[in-house]
Amino acid sequence: MIRRNVDLSRANTLGLPCRAERFLATDDIATTRDALRQAVERDWPLTVLGGGSNLVLQPWLPGLALKPTFADLRFEEVGEGDVLVHAGAGLNWHALVEALAARDLWGIENLALIPGHVGAAPIQNIGAYGVELADVLEQVHLLHLEDGQETVLDREECAFGYRDSVFKHALENRVVITRLVLRVSPQARPRLDYGDLAARLPARPCASDVVAAVSAVRREKLPDPKVLGNAGSFFKNPVVSSGHAQALLERHPTMPHFPLANGGVKLAAGWLIDQCGLKGLREGHVGTHERQALVLVHHGGGSAAELLALARHVIEEVQARFDVALEQEPRLMGRAAR
């Protein structure tokens, strides 16, 4: 049943105050399709909520906030020893990572402890420690807002990029993701060349060992949103031209940089922000995290407006010092007032 005027302050990991005009949690296709039909017929704006971990909610969310809670999980053995994992959109992502590791299935162990739900993973092509969702994704199952039709996209149709996908462009606000199909393997395929992961693991780690090591690294560097409100990395790592990177390296020889196949160079947004002296900054109820400047935090009692003002300040400081434009990663939803 659709509820009205629902408090969503606990439905986003930043803990920002927000009320939804209408809200529905649904775990079946028929109910979801009916809600989409009502949204179209009554011209309600639609917002699809997952774990609330990659968004900034403003105080008022008009229309219908829909939260898919499909939580089914099925394993299908296929050719070449691989396994297809059919996972409902409402599953907790880290719980899925742990479930696969418990079966010693390889493919997403480096994506441990990323907050949020399975259905949100393809939207920004989640990635960490040298692995992206695109590396293992086979299919995304969808319901279309316009007509309630079910369709399936393969990896290529998702148009994955760095923290990007078709769901941020052509299909933004037009579909509801209901499930993912991932291809994983029982054969050990550790990818440990990022940071000091290899040093934390035995010579022949199992998938659960990698999950534990990645989780430990993330806990050391990132705040727990249950303790301190945050949306994870607030800015994407910027990509600049090789010439721009070289000019910066002449002034900052220790600057982290990662050459890309297309000729560009990826920079570390956290390092850039730190060099501007902004790590641990506090402005009213919000700030940058004391251990990771890339993470903006909400200490409680604040608002989206405060957080966005801080984000603008960070962007302006990095632009002024390095001539590098930072891009906000969490999506902004809702509006300032009714």
Q: Which residues are catalytic?
A: 163, 233, 329
Q: What token pair was written down for 161?
A: 């990029």
Residue 264 · residue 241 · CB < 8 Å = yes
Tell me how far apart the alpha carbons of residues 113 and 94 are, in angstroms, rounded to a whole number.
5
Cα-trace Rg, the chain: 20
Calpha distance 125→121 (Å, rounded): 6
How far is Cα 15 from Cα 187, in angstroms, rounded to an integer? 40
106: DSSP letter:
B
Name the amino acid, one letter, at 180: L
Give residue for tokens 């891009």: 327
Q: How many CB atoms lie within 10 A of CB 226?
A: 9
Distance CA 88, CA 296 (A): 30
How far apart are the two ends of the chain, measured CA to CA in Å? 23
What are the structure tokens assigned to 325, written together? Answer: 């434009």
Contact status, residue 105 vs residue 189, Cβ threshold 8 Å = no
Rounded Cα distance between 290 and 179, Å, is 36
Amino acid letter for position 121: A
Q: For residues 174 and 256, what is the distance between their CA atoms, to the nearest angstrom?
A: 38
DSSP 180: E
User: By the 8 A CB rule, do 58 and 18 touch?
Assistant: yes
For residue 212, what are the contacts with CB-CB under 8 A and spacing of at least 6?
none
Q: Which residues pair with 331 in a beta bridge?
A: 55
